[in-house]
């Protein structure tokens, strides 16, 4: 039933758009394609404001206005520059794509957890079925719109508009500027379209960059059906016809879905349908001239034909409705599983295959003990919603959604049946929950973001010097934007890598983008997970082969298709994981208790053939580690069996909290995470890990701490002093392991290494400040001034600075300090330091300053100021000498302590460990450039020797 | 009322097809005058009308209407001052709109239109009365669309629309040329009636010398973008069709045109 009422509701909402097209098409004979963009613009503007806390009704006029602006521009271009209406529309529509992306800031805004007209309507629901209640309210609204618009079109101004389209010569002789009238009409029409956009966004629960594509055809179809229904010059009937047309069109789409129509064919069917109605209505209209017998026949029996077809459609619908009401008796005990997929890309197909195979392994046979129906939206975003409606109408018991777009549609609509998603980069940006455990009660699934940083690291092994890499992406996909963001962020930590980006809006543009990248002198392609680019992978491959530019990809399946090296999650396994989750739910487990799972298999694959062709050497370690190989034209892959999860013991829930997003803390958390993930998947330990990052904001840190405490985690791990302090202050109960802390004794959580807060233990990693300053003296005997920046609110920094003061006094340096309160002040502090004439720049343990590390590295290199720091990881970001811990090891060690506690150790019994996996890293290229000679005694100690910068 | 100063209009400027459509034309038509314009094909008479209406902008010179310099005004703005009737009856009415709605459009000539409902009973009654004046039984068909009317009926309606608000200037562009003789006669009758009863300043382009002699207070003869003769009312009354043809004959002699062309003129104008 929901399918039909849902279709009627959609019809009502699309009617606003159709009425807009009615004005431009009927009045000015322009098929205004601007609406493809203004529809999204209305949705985008409204959605942004709703997220900002606006009332869902208050945003309606704003969206109307936004749409109007788009229309105004089209009108202006059309009338002032005398450019054909269709072309003007195409121009504005094309431009709006970028505008919409800017307005939204991303390609998808979820409105799930915000008030919409539907939630407001639900609040005053007298107890009716929700969809029906919405339908009744919308009917009232649409009647009001019908009366208002009809009245307007009947007014002096409305009639003048009609006359403008009907006879421009005449109306301009009557003193009317036809340009102005047309602009008014197109503006008004697009306002209606913008309104339709935000209404639909509210109804479907999100605004998406692609939601407007094809609007013109849908609304033309509605207008034309309306025209066929009432062949009249009575305005109020014509307007009603358009509204009915929009509803009938949506019903027809629902019907096509319901009757098991291949959604592949939906578009050509729509096109044919519009064409047919156009031809018929044209032949009826042309009363003059020669008429064929058929035309005359059609004309004379027009009413008969139309009523007969409407009757036939209605009859069919009633038949189907009656049919859907009574489920087949034979299938009563079979689980109905509905799968929604966004498109036919290889990523999703693999997911599906993995799912299907594993379901079979788990004993599910389609038709015998379950009924699986698959629907594919073929890239049409609104179609996802209709498919969900269809599955609901089919009384589906368990929903599966592969891809973000499908997941969003399913999660927004399905509230009381279990949902399992797979192959979603981040369910959280879709509005499906905040963390892997804090999610809607009926939803669970498999997700994960590509291991971008790791692949970049592998890539640098092939290019010892500076390297330019190029990436291609389609900003239209929410996942892509996330992945690209990750890549851009990760690249910052690799000063030798320069990233060149190229965006495309469709598969046809991929080859040109690849060629353009090649012409910009890139040495490698880096392909993030992007459905468009993967679909057109062969285009990139062509350019890759021609220019001997290897392809590095985050998609494991690309190896077989010709990529040079892949490192990424395997989506087949994602499907397998989804099947396991589905199995658990079918067996009676509640999705509420099943945390979102991260992808289980990360696959490294190398193409040894191509290495020979391109003249690249694959390090032996990589060849050995590779689970997939392309060698002598044969693709081989090690089989992987997803470990069966132990059935006993409860899941341990761990919160991992880092204060900010700096290299040091990221490395710590990475070490920690890698150990835990390995435990989880390789050893089958039941873990749910939730990651928190306060992004350097004290207030956020406070709320995160409260959140972690309120969620009753079993274990807590923190990275950085501030994160430890914030949590330790409130949490005296849950076991807590900290790391990346300079001096826990000074931070108030312990009196001595043994005597500490009972629930807390961890690693103290004091920076070897004195040793570093001694090293400065050894390397730079003539230097006088050492400059340092530190954040006054960081206790760890204060400690390091104190040590630095003592050491400088001892070694005969003058220490110049600048204090800051936020990362924004680093720039000014550096300038002031430099102007005071420093010989050495020193950074030690300061989390805030380390956020600016790559920039600092570059500045110091340019000014030839030797840069010393206290974390070996910093060497990749431009320091000259770094002496200190490798924080990845610190994180791993902390994870070890955590695992010990899980196995029964009590934190109170574990003393705080002073752990400095001290590593000396030197950038030899820089020391040579600066003319600094390194004594052999020092050189021998260096673990990392960088030869390039 | 109408003042043209040193008007020059060139078509296809700068190309080999450049045509001097109006060549340094000066013309003044006083208030209440009814001038007819005659001339050979391509003489510039339609250009002259379109120039006054604002469809064509002059390359040089000034257009002053009702004391205002309107040289750079677009056509629709000039509708405040003037109204016009085209040769093609289909150009002057909106076919999909009713007679009443067409009249409503004329009712607001040169005024701002608001989303109000002005077509009330009182106005409909007024429109019916005015339509009755046309003597074409249109008053009973006021809710029929203009598309259902014959050419003559349409042109009569157009004429009514043009004079509905008593314009300062009325431009008639061979407005009977496309009609059958009976309808043409009725429209001419109506034209004379409206022009004289409203005392309208009018300019009428015509192909018919007879019409030019019978109607109006002044004849303007054009040839090759120039006004070759401007015949005032006194002189006009004494003229015959042959006199007018004689004037064209003179041009023939001046320009050494063949007699065949003159014969052509006779066929066309007499």
Residue window 203-262, chain A: list those with CB within 8 Å of chain B.
Answer: 233
Q: What is the pLDDT of residues A597-609, one digit of tens each?
A: 878 888 899 999 9
Q: What is the pLDDT of residues A613-629, one digit of tens each?
A: 888 888 888 888 888 89
**Nearest Cα to Cα of residue B44 among B252, B205, B158:** B205
User: Which pair of structure tokens corresponds to residue A764?
Assistant: 């103290």
CATH of A652-764, one of 3.30.420.40, 3.60.15.10, 3.40.720.10, 3.40.50.2300: 3.40.50.2300
Q: How many CB contacts within 8 angstroms connect chain A with chain B?
A: 93
Angstrom distance (rounded) from CA A685 to CA A21:
59
CB B92 within 8 A of CB B121: no
Instruction: Using pLDDT thresholds of 50, 70 and 90, give the confidence band for residue A264.
Output: low
Residues in a beta bridge with A165 = none
What SS3 string covers chain B? CEEEEEEEEEECCCCCCCEEEEEEEEEEECCCCEEEEEECCCCCHHHHHHHHHCCCCCCEEEEEECCEECCCCCHHHHCCCEEEECCCHHHCCCCCCEHHHHHHHHHCCCCCCCCCCCCCHHHHHHHHHHHHHCCCCHHHHCCCEHHHCCHHHHHHHHHHHHHCCCCCEEEEECCCCCCCHHHHHHHHHHHHHHHHHHCCEEEEECCCHHHHHHCCCEEEEEECCEEEEEECHHHHHHCCHHHHHHHHHHHHHHHCCCHHHHHHHHHHHC
Residues in a beta bridge with B145 = B98
What chain A residue is nearest to B118 in terms of C-alpha separation? A156
Task: Kindly tell me if the per-residue pLDDT of B69 is higher than 90.
Answer: yes
Angstrom distance (rounded) from CA A568 to CA A450:
6
Instruction: Using pLDDT thresholds of 50, 70 and 90, give the confidence band for residue A5.
Output: confident
Q: Which residue has the higher pLDDT, B153 or B251?
A: B153
Angstrom distance (rounded) from CA A245 to CA A226:
5
∠ Cα A911 A912 A913 (to 5°): 105
Cα of B4 to nearest chain A Cα, Å: 21
Residues A32-36: what's their mean pLDDT? 94
Residue B171 contacts A where some CB pair is shorter than 8 Å: no
Instruction: Using pLDDT thresholds of 50, 70 and 90, give the confidence band for residue A448.
Output: confident
Q: Please report the pLDDT score of residue A148 as a whole number.
A: 95
Task: Pick left, alpha or beta for residue A242 (phi over 0 → left; psi -120 to 50 → alpha; otherwise beta).
Answer: alpha
CATH code: domain A469-569+598-637 is 3.40.50.2300
Angstrom distance (rounded) from CA A331 to CA A423:
30
Q: Please report the pLDDT score of residue A281 as a whole number.
A: 64
- Report the range of poorest mean pLDDT among A100-114, A364-378, A876-890: A100-114
∠ Cα B133 B139 B143 (to 5°): 145
Angstrom distance (rounded) from CA A83 to CA A28:
14
Task: Kindly tell me if the per-residue pLDDT of A339 is higher than 90.
Answer: yes
Residue A42: helix, strand or coil by DSSP? helix
Task: Kindly tell me if the per-residue pLDDT of A330 is higher than 60.
Answer: no
Instruction: Using pLDDT thresholds of 50, 70 and 90, give the confidence band for residue A648.
Output: very low
Task: Kindly tell me if the per-residue pLDDT of A244 is higher than 90.
Answer: yes
- Report the range of poorest mean pLDDT among A6-15, A253-262, A774-783, B62-71: A253-262
Q: What is the pLDDT of residues A513-569, one digit of tens each?
A: 888 888 888 999 999 888 788 878 888 888 898 889 999 998 887 888 889 999 988
User: Which pair of structure tokens corresponds to residue A732?
Assistant: 């005296």
What angle do helix axes B259-269 and B241-255 make, rounded to 10 degrees? 150
% of chain A with per-residue pLDDT over 90: 30
Q: What is the pLDDT of residues A843-865, one digit of tens each?
A: 987 888 888 888 888 888 888 89
Q: Which of B104, B111, B115, B116 to probe by mutation at the A interface, max A CB count within 10 Å?
A: B115
What chain A residue is nearest to B104 in terms of C-alpha separation? A156
Q: What is the dihedral of CA B83, B89, B90, B96, to 10 degrees?
A: 80
Q: Which residue has the higher pLDDT, A582 or A901?
A: A582
Residue-wise over B131-169: b if at least 16 C-beta within 10 A, else e? beebebebbebbeebbeebebbbbbbbbbbbbbbbebbb
Q: What is the pLDDT of residues A932-941, one digit of tens each?
A: 888 888 888 8
Angstrom distance (rounded) from CA A690 to CA A428:
12
Angstrom distance (rounded) from CA B148 to CA B140:
13
∠ Cα A939 A945 A947 (to 5°): 120
H or E segment to which residue A119 belongs:
helix A117-123
Angstrom distance (rounded) from CA A287 to CA A272:
24
Task: Kindly tell me if the per-residue pLDDT of A42 is higher than 90.
Answer: yes
Are B93 and A169 a contacting pair at CB < 8 A? Answer: no
Among B91, B97, B117, beta carbon nearest to A169: B91
Q: Please report the pLDDT score of residue A736 as a whole number.
A: 93
Q: What is the pLDDT of residues A394-411, one digit of tens each?
A: 889 999 999 888 999 899
Are A171 and B80 a contacting pair at CB < 8 A? Answer: no
What chain A residue is nearest to B93 in terms of C-alpha separation? A170
Task: Kindly tell me if the per-residue pLDDT of A414 is higher than 50.
Answer: yes
Instruction: Using pLDDT thresholds of 50, 70 and 90, give the confidence band for residue A151.
Output: very high
Residue A79 contacts B where some CB pair is shorter than 8 Å: no
Residues in a beta bridge with B98 = B145
Among A155, A163, A169, beta carbon nearest to B105: A163
Q: What is the pLDDT of residues A735-783, one digit of tens each?
A: 999 999 888 887 778 888 878 888 899 999 888 999 999 999 999 988 8
Angstrom distance (rounded) from CA A597 to CA A447:
6
Instruction: Using pLDDT thresholds of 50, 70 and 90, give the confidence band for residue B71.
Output: very high
Locate the domains of chain B by residue range.
2-93+168-239
CB A685 within 8 A of CB A746: no
Task: Kindly tell me if the per-residue pLDDT of A122 is higher than 90.
Answer: no
Residues A875-894: what's their mean pLDDT? 89
Among A784-793, A871-880, B22-31, the range with the most confident prediction by mean pLDDT is: B22-31
CATH of B2-93+168-239, one of 3.20.20.70, 3.30.1330.20, 3.30.450.20, 3.40.50.300: 3.40.50.300
Angstrom distance (rounded) from CA B47 to CA B21:
7
Cα of B155 to nearest chain A Cα, Å: 12
Other beta carbons less than 10 A from residue A255's beta carbon:
18
Cα of B185 to nearest chain A Cα, Å: 23
Q: Please report the pLDDT score of residue A386 as a whole number.
A: 84
Task: Kindly tell me if the per-residue pLDDT of B270 is higher than 60.
Answer: no
Residues A45-65: what's their mean pLDDT? 94
* DSSP annotation of A876: G
What SS3 string covers A154-191? HCHHHHHHHHHHHCHHHHHHCCCCHHHHHHHHHHHHHH
Among A205-209, A303-307, A404-408, A692-696, the range with the most confident prediction by mean pLDDT is: A404-408
% of chain A with per-residue pLDDT over 70: 90
Residue A286 contacts B where some CB pair is shorter than 8 Å: no
Q: Please report the pLDDT score of residue A437 as a whole number.
A: 59
What is the architecture, at CATH level 2, of domain A329-447?
A: 3-Layer(aba) Sandwich (3.40)
Task: Kindly tell me if the per-residue pLDDT of B84 is higher than 70.
Answer: yes
Residue A443: helix, strand or coil by DSSP? strand
Q: Please report the pLDDT score of residue A702 as a whole number.
A: 78
Cα of A75 to nearest chain B Cα, Å: 18
Among A158, A166, A174, beta carbon nearest to B96: A166
CB B172 within 8 A of CB B191: yes
Are B105 and A152 a contacting pair at CB < 8 A? Answer: no
Q: Please report the pLDDT score of residue A213 as a whole number.
A: 79
Residue B94 contacts A where some CB pair is shorter than 8 Å: yes
**Nearest Cα to Cα of residue A777 among A834, A836, A840:** A840
Angstrom distance (rounded) from CA B74 to CA A946:
75
Are A162 and B117 a contacting pair at CB < 8 A? Answer: no
Residues A78-101: what's their mean pLDDT? 92
Residue A162 contacts B where some CB pair is shorter than 8 Å: yes
Angstrom distance (rounded) from CA A374 to CA A366:
12
Q: Which CATH superfamily hosts domain A769-886+916-946?
A: Response regulator (3.40.50.2300)
Which residues of B are less than 8 Å from A175 in CB distance?
A: 76-77, 79-80, 108-111
Task: Kindly tell me if the per-residue pLDDT of A196 is higher than 90.
Answer: yes
Which residues of A are less than 8 Å from B80 in CB distance?
A: 175
Q: Please report the pLDDT score of residue B58 as a whole number.
A: 93
Cα of A286 to nearest chain B Cα, Å: 13
Are A174 and B79 a contacting pair at CB < 8 A? Answer: yes
Counting every residue written for chain B, the total comes to 270
Which residues of A are less than 8 Å from B109 in CB distance?
A: 174-175
Among A155, A170, A176, beta carbon nearest to B92: A170
Which residues of A are less than 8 Å from B53 in CB distance?
A: 173
Start-to-end CA span in chain A (Å): 65
What chain A residue is nearest to B116 in terms of C-alpha separation? A155
What chain B residue is nearest to A148 in terms of C-alpha separation? B115
**Nearest Cα to Cα of residue A210 among A356, A326, A352, A37:** A37
∠ Cα A85 A90 A96 (to 5°): 125
Residue-wise over A287-321: b if at least 16 C-beta within 10 A, else e? eeeeeeeebeebbeeeeeebeeeeeeeeeebeebe
Mean per-residue pLDDT over chain B, rounded: 87
User: Which pair of structure tokens corresponds to residue A720?
Assistant: 């950085």
Other beta carbons less than 10 A from residue A639's beta carbon:
5
**Long-range contacts made by residues B15-20, C-beta under 8 angstroms, separation at least 24?**
B20/B224, B20/B225
Residues A688-703: what's their mean pLDDT? 80
Task: Kindly tell me if the per-residue pLDDT of A287 is higher than 50.
Answer: no
Give the ipTM of the model, two decimals please.
0.88
Task: Kindly tell me if the per-residue pLDDT of A265 is higher than 80.
Answer: no
Dihedral of alpha carbons A169, A171, A177, A183, sign? negative
Locate the domains of chain A by residue range.
2-213, 329-447, 469-569+598-637, 652-764, 769-886+916-946
User: Which pair of structure tokens corresponds to residue A562?
Assistant: 């010709």
Task: Kindly tell me if the per-residue pLDDT of A323 is higher than 70.
Answer: no
């Amino acid at each position: 039933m929901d399918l039909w009422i849902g279709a009627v509701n959609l019809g009502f909402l699309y009617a606003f758009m159709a009425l807009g097209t009615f004005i431009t098409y009927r009045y000015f004979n322009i098929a205004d394609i601007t609406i493809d963009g203004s529809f999204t613009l209305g949705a985008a503007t409204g959605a942004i404001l709703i997220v900002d806390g606006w009332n869902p009704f208050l945003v309606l006029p704003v969206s109307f206005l936004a749409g109007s602006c788009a229309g105004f521009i089209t009108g202006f271009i059309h009338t002032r520059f005398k450019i054909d209406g269709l072309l003007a529309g195409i121009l504005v529509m094309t431009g709006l794509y970028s505008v919409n992306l800017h307005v939204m800031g991303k390609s998808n805004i979820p409105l799930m957890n915000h008030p919409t007209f539907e939630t407001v309507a639900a609040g005053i629901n007298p107890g009716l079925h929700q969809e029906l209640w919405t339908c009744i309210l919308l009917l009232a609204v649409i009647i009001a719109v019908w009366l208002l618009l009809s009245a307007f079109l009947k007014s002096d101004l409305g009639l003048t508009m009609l006359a403008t389209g009907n006879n421009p010569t005449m109306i301009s002789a009557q003193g009317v500027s036809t340009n102005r009238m047309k602009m008014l009409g197109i503006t008004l029409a697009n306002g209606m379209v913008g309104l339709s956009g935000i209404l639909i966004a509210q109804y479907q629960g999100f605004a998406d960059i692609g939601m407007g594509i094809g609007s013109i055809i849908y609304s033309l179809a509605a207008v034309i059906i309306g025209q066929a229904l009432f062949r009249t010059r009575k305005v109020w009937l014509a307007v009603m016809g358009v509204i009915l047309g929009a509803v009938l069109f949506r019903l027809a789409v629902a019907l096509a879905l319901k009757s098991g129509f291949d959604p592949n064919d939906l578009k050509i069917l729509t096109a044919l349908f519009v064409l047919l109605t156009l031809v018929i209505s044209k032949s009826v209209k042309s009363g003059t001239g020669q008429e064929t017998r058929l035309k005359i026949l059609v004309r004379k029996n027009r009413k008969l034909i139309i009523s007969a077809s409407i009757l036939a459609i209605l009859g069919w619908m009633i038949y189907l409705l009656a049919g859907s009401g009574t489920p087949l008796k034979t299938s009563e005990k079979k689980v109905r599983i509905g799968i929604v997929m966004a498109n036919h890309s290889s990523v999703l197909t693999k997911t599906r295959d993995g799912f299907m195979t594993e379901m079979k392994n788990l004993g599910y046979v389609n038709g015998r003990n379950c009924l699986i129906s698959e629907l594919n939206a073929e890239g049409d975003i609104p179609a996802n919603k209709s498919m969900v409606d269809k599955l609901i109408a089919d009384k589906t018991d368990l929903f599966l959604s592969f891809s973000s777009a499908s997941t969003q549609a399913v999660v927004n609509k399905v509230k009381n049946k279990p949902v399992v998603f797979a192959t979603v980069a981040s369910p959280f940006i879709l509005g499906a929950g905040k963390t892997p455990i804090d999610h809607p009660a009926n939803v669970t699934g498999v997700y994960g973001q590509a291991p971008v940083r790791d692949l970049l690291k592998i890539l640098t092994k092939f290019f010892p010097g500076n390297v330019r890499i190029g990436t291609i992406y389609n900003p239209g996909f929410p996942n892509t934007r996330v992945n690209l963001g990750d890549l851009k962020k990760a690249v910052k930590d690799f000063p030798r890598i320069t990233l060149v980006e190229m965006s495309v809006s469709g598969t046809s543009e991929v080859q040109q983008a690849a060629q353009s990248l090649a012409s910009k002198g890139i040495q490698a392609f880096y392909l993030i997970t992007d459905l468009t680019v993967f679909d057109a992978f062969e285009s990139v491959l062509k350019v890759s082969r021609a220019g001997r530019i290897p392809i590095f990809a985050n998609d494991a399946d690309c190896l077989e298709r010709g990529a040079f090296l892949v490192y990424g999650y395997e989506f087949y396994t994602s499907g397998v994981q989804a099947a396991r989750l589905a199995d658990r739910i079918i067996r009676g487990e509640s999705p509420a208790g099943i945390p979102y799972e991260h992808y289980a298999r990360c696959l490294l694959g190398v193409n040894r053939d191509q290495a020979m062709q391109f003249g690249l050497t694959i390090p032996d370690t990589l060849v050995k580690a590779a689970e997939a190989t392309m060698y002598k034209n044969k693709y081989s892959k090690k089989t992987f069996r997803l470990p069966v999860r132990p059935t006993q013991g409860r899941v341990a829930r761990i919160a991992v909290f880092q204060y900010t997003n700096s290299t040091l803390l990221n490395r710590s958390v990475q070490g920690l995470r890698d150990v835990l993930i390995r435990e989880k998947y390789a050893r089958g330990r039941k873990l749910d890990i939730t990651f928190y990052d306060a992004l350097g904001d004290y207030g956020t840190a406070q709320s995160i701490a409260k959140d972690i405490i309120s969620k009753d985690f079993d274990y807590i791990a923190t990275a950085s002093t501030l994160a430890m302090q914030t949590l330790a202050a409130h949490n005296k109960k849950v076991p807590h392991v900290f790391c990346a802390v300079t001096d826990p004794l000074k931070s108030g959580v312990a009196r001595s290494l043994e005597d500490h807060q009972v629930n807390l233990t961890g690693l103290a990693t004091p920076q070897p400040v004195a040793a570093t300053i001694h090293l400065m003296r050894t390397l730079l005997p003539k230097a006088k001034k050492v400059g340092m920046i530190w954040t006054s609110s960081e206790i760890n920094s204060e400690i390091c600075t104190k040590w630095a003061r003592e050491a400088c006094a001892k070694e005969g340096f003058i220490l110049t300090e600048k204090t800051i309160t936020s990362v924004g002040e680093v720039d000014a502090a550096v300038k002031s330091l430099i102007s005071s004439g420093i010989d050495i720049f020193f950074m030690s343990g300061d989390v805030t300053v380390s956020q600016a590390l790559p920039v600092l590295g570059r500045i110091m290199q340019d000014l030839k100021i030797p840069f010393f720091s206290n974390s070996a990881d910093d060497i990749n970001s431009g320091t000259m000498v770094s002496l200190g811990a490798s924080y990845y090891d610190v994180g791993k060690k902390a994870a070890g302590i955590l695992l010990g506690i899980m196995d029964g150790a009590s934190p109170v019994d574990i003393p705080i460990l002073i752990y400095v996996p001290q590593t000396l890293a030197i950038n030899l290229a820089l020391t040579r450039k600066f003319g600094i000679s390194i004594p052999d005694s020092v050189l021998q100690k260096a673990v990392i020797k960088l030869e390039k910068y | 009322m109408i003042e043209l100063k040193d008007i020059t209009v060139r078509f296809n400027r700068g190309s080999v097809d450049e045509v001097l459509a109006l060549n340094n034309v000066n013309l003044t038509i006083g208030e209440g005058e009814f001038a007819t314009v005659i001339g050979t094909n391509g003489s510039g008479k339609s250009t002259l009308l379109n120039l006054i209406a604002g469809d064509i902008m002059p390359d040089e010179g000034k257009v002053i209407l009702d004391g205002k310099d309107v040289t750079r005004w677009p056509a629709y703005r000039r509708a405040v001052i003037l109204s016009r009737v085209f040769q093609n009856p289909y150009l002057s009415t909106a076919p999909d709109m009713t007679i009443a709605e067409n009249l409503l459009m004329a009712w607001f000539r040169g005024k701002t239109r608001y989303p109000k409902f002005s077509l009330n009973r009182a106005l409909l009654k007024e429109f019916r009365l005015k339509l009755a004046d046309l003597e074409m039984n249109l008053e009973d068909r006021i809710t029929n669309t203009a598309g259902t009317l014959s050419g003559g009926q349409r042109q009569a309606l157009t004429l009514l629309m043009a004079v509905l608000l008593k314009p300062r200037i009325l431009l008639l562009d061979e407005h009977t040329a496309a009609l059958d003789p009976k309808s043409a006669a009725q429209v001419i009758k109506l034209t004379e009636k409206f022009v004289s009863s409203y005392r309208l300043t009018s300019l009428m382009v015509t192909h018919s010398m007879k019409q030019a002699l019978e109607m109006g207070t002044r004849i303007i003869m054009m040839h090759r973008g120039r006004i070759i003769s401007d015949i005032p009312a006194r002189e006009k009354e004494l003229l015959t069709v042959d006199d007018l043809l004689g004037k064209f004959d003179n041009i023939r002699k001046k320009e050494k045109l063949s007699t065949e062309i003159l014969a052509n003129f006779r066929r066309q104008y007499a």
